[in-house]
Amino acid sequence: MNRQERRRRAAMAKRNAYVESYVEHLPEVGPEALGKPGVTHLVYYHDDNCRIFDGNACSCDPHVRLFAEPKRS
């Protein structure tokens, strides 16, 4: 495996770890939450063949999901 493939796999693993360990546990919301106060996470799911993992511009049609931070006291 060459350096480029190692970097690509590392970028994909970093994305997967963030989504699986943190964002997936938050409640999913619709686009109406974007204008409201609070923290909203926009998560882009790129295809595995997307050039974004090579450090280039996105070459796919990513799927976007919105997650909201719960209110903390």
pLDDT attached to residue 46: 83
Return the pLDDT at 36: 81
- What is residue 44's three-state secondary structure? strand
pLDDT (tens digit per residue) in 21-63: 777 778 888 888 787 887 787 887 888 888 887 888 888 888 8
Question: Which pTM value belongs to this model?
Answer: 0.54
- CA–CA separation, 46 vs 59, rounded Å? 9
Q: Where are the domains of the chain?
A: 3-68
Dihedral, CA atoms, 23, 26, 28, 32, nearest 10 degrees? -100
In the predicted model, is pLDDT for residue 19 greater than 60?
yes
Reported as a single tens digit per residue, the pLDDT across 5-14 is 888 888 878 8
Look at residue 71 and tell me whether its pLDDT is greater than 60. Answer: yes
